[in-house]
Amino acid sequence: MASKQNADGTKRELTKRHVQMIALGGTIGTGLFLGASNSIMKTGPSILLVYLVLGVIFFLMMRGIGEMMYHDPDKHTFISFIGKYLGKTVGYFAGWTYWLGIIFVAMAELTAVSKYVQYWFPSWPTWAIQIGVLAILVSINLIAVGLFGEAEFWFAMIKITAIVVMIIVGLFLVFTNFKTPVGHASFGNITNHFSMFPNGIMSFVAAFPMVFFAFQGMEFIGITTSETQDPRKVLPKVINEIIYRVLLFYIGAIAIIMAIYPWQSLDPTQSPFVQVFQLAGMKAAAAVINFVVLTAAASALNSYMYSAGRHFYQLALDTKHSKFMKHFRKISRTGVPARGILFSAALVLIGPILNSMPQITDAFAFITSVSSDLYIIVYLLTMMAHRKYRESADFDPEGFLMPHYKFTSPLVIGFFALIYVSLFFTGSGAIWPAIGGLVWTVGFMAAIKFVNRQTAVSMNVED
């Protein structure tokens, strides 16, 4: 099927299988492969409830985004709806906030990629690995959106295959009552001596923002729509399938891990996947999982470059009176916002410089945390924009509707607000990034008002 070219030069080359894998790849990251042991140790079996609740919340958010995208599939990013329904200033703030968040998270992923490569090549310099990997992924993004979709399909396939294999191996160990160093593999290990809050209620509450960030990236579907073939057919199917697949992969994998190892016996410093595969006799388990997490980090970085380029292109369109930004309002002959991708990649390369300066390591971690917290604010604004869409003349009652809107919409908004508030009380060091997010919001809005006031004064003087 030939790709359709949009009016601005972008092309609809992403197929259903591309979009499905982009959705899954954006959600399933290194947190599951490396960080699951730590999450389980803090919360115990109740971590399954945390994943279930947040999986449902994110599914409902995606239904809200999907409803707006179904109505207007030509938008380059779901952020555009914030500007349309909440005002240009709020939309402008959300656009810059989301783009900066992407840049900082991409820096962190690039750092992770270099560490995973050095597992096999410890003598290779970090900066050379990072420049090389970024050059490859940027090239993939520059050639054509179809190539990006194909790369992301295979990146995601590797991650999903690892999870499926681990679940199958785990089920075999459970059903054969396999003897482990700490007992026998059994689903009873999940329910034995069950306690809802084994390490206190605050550890349980702290798990929500931790798992929230694991789901972050699911919204990438809302960036692919304008480059997807037949989006009104593909979008509803992909979004509706997300909840089942994410819950299968996350909850299924974590349940199997706890069935094999009682949650109190897990080693929080080691990947639970490595522990399970080594138990099954795979001597190369550590190397295999290192390859998988390398793929996961590269997949995330690939998606961030795609997303950053589209968002900066949209910011260039929205910034009317800037000689600098007008250079980024062009689409390349291959149908991608090449200048936006290259500029974003150049900023991501600041990451290696920051990493080489020990005196600002803490500041870099702080800024990364702030950018992640800002995603919550963007999600909140997106859901508020969806409410305004429902009240507008644009609302299509025959479209892809968010289910039980009158109940689920305030539920999602309230839940995201509670997660942000919880950052001030978990005692895990999250309070300062949370404060930073508020400072950024207030400061940005104040700066916009000042610039608008100065522009108005200048125009009056000229008159």
Which amino acid belongs to residue 101?
Answer: G
The residues, ordered by sequence, that sit 6+ positions from 39 with a Cβ below 8 Å of its Cβ are 31, 47, 207, 210, 211
Residue 461 class from Cβ within 10 Å (0-12 exposed, 13-18 middle, 19+ buried)?
exposed
CA 88/CA 83 separation, integer angstroms: 4
Does the pTM surpass 0.85? The reply is yes
What tokens appear for 107 in the block? 């820096």
23 pLDDT more than 80: no
Give the pLDDT confidence score for residue 65 in this predicted structure: 94
Q: Considering only 99-103, 246-250, 257-261, which range has the smallest mean pLDDT?
A: 246-250
What tokens appear for 51 in the block? 């994943």
Domains and CATH numbers, the chain: 7-458 (1.20.1740.10)
188 pLDDT more than 80: yes
Give the pLDDT confidence score for residue 5 in this predicted structure: 66
Give the pLDDT confidence score for residue 358 in this predicted structure: 64
From residue 95, alpha-carbon distances to 145, 153, 261, 266, 335 in Å are: 21, 27, 44, 41, 21
Select the more confidently predicted residue: 111 or 133. Answer: 133
One DSSP character per residue, 152-218 reads: HHHHHHHHHHHHHHHHHHHHHHHHTT-EETTEE--THHHHTT--SSTT-HHHHHHHHHHHHHHHTTG
What phi and psi values does residue 398 have, to the nearest 5 degrees?
A: -100, 5
77 pLDDT more than 90: no
